[in-house]
């Protein structure tokens, strides 16, 4: 579904990604883990069209997208759930959700999609007229995910969904991610919480200093000595 090939990305003269290549197959949960500053968010922003690569390519469903505008990439079926939620705090929960349906096709289907979001997150229906600034961290994450789902994505990319959440709430988010996969949405999960992420991922890439340094099945990497030492404190 998604193929990144030999991607190089710079901020000015500073290189953030070096020859990064990875694949995400339809129906998979693929994880990307690594320390702060490794380049994880840079990769997501490049896939979403927010950054342009110096070289390399990004293909989605066989179509090259690394020169497309972000809104066109969203229309093709990719959504990104940003780190820190990035909600419109002066707007209601319902209005925040509808902001995700800004393409013409998604807007026509917004009522139907909104009911599907409420099935996934029933509490949001109760809070739909409440200001987003009054939400808890967990509820805010639900709105961020729901807003992404309003675009009717085929591939959903999560950027650090554990950010600002208690461990129990993050576990609940991971359960939602697994349910979304069961509903036919492919998942690309970027996360620092390595242990729980590897437990649900079909495959995982480890990013270090802008390069892919390790890859393999999620649960296999839990037993990898390099991963244990660097990320699990073992």
Band of residue 234 on the pLDDT scale cut at 50, 70, 90: very low
Q: What is the pTM of this model?
A: 0.89
Max Cα-Cα span within the chain: 51
Which residues make Cβ contacts (< 8 Å) with residue 30, sequence separation at least 6? Answer: 22, 23, 24, 187, 188, 189, 201, 202, 203, 204, 205
CA angle 139, 28, 52 (to 5 degrees): 80
Instruction: Evaluate whether 86 touches 156 at the Cβ level (below 8 Å).
Output: no
pLDDT at 233 over 60: no
Where exactly does CATH 3.40.50.300 map onto the chain?
1-77+155-166+186-234
Instruction: Evaluate whether 64 touches 56 at the Cβ level (below 8 Å).
Output: no
Is the four-CA dihedral 2, 179, 161, 200 of positive or negative sign? negative
Residues 132-162: pLDDT tens digits? Answer: 888 888 888 888 999 999 999 999 999 988 8
Instruction: Evaluate whether 191 touches 197 at the Cβ level (below 8 Å).
Output: yes
CA angle 48, 227, 53 (to 5 degrees): 25
Q: What per-residue confidence (pLDDT) applies to 53?
A: 97
Higher-pLDDT residue of 161 and 47 is 47
pLDDT at 168 over 90: no
Instruction: Evaluate whether 204 touches 221 at the Cβ level (below 8 Å).
Output: yes
Report helix angle 137-149 to 167-182, nearest 10.
20
First to last CA, the chain: 35
Give the chain's mean pLDDT. Answer: 89
Residues 72-107: pLDDT tens digits? Answer: 999 999 999 888 778 878 889 888 898 888 888 888
CATH architecture of 1-77+155-166+186-234: 3-Layer(aba) Sandwich (3.40)
Q: For residue 23, with 0-12 CB atoms within 10 Å meaning exposed, 13-18 middle and 19 or more buried, which class applies? A: middle
């Amino acid at each position: 579904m998604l193929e990144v090939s030999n991607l190089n990305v710079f901020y000015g003269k500073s290189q953030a990604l070096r020859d990064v290549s990875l694949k995400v197959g339809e129906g998979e949960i693929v994880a990307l883990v690594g320390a702060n500053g490794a380049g994880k968010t840079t990769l997501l922003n490049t896939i979403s069209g927010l950054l342009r690569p110096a070289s390399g390519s990004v293909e989605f469903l066989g179509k090259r997208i690394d020169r497309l505008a972000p809104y066109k990439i969203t229309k093709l079926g990719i959504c990104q759930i940003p780190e820190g939620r990035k909600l419109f705090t002066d707007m209601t929960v319902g209005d925040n959700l509808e902001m995700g349906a800004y393409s013409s096709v998604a807007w026509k289907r917004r009522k139907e999609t909104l009911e599907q979001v409420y099935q996934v997150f029933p509490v949001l229906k109760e809070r739909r007229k409440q200001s987003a600034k009054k939400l808890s961290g967990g509820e805010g994450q639900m709105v961020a995910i729901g807003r992404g789902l309003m675009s009717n994505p085929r591939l959903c990319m999560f950027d650090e969904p554990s950010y600002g959440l208690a461990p129990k709430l993050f576990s609940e988010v991971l359960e939602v991610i697994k349910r979304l996969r069961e509903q036919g949405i492919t998942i690309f999960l970027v996360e620092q919480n390595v242990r729980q992420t590897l437990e649900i991922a079909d495959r995982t890439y480890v990013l270090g200093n802008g390069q892919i340094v390790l890859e393999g099945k999620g649960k296999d990497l839990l037993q990898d000595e390099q991963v244990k030492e660097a990320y699990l404190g073992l």
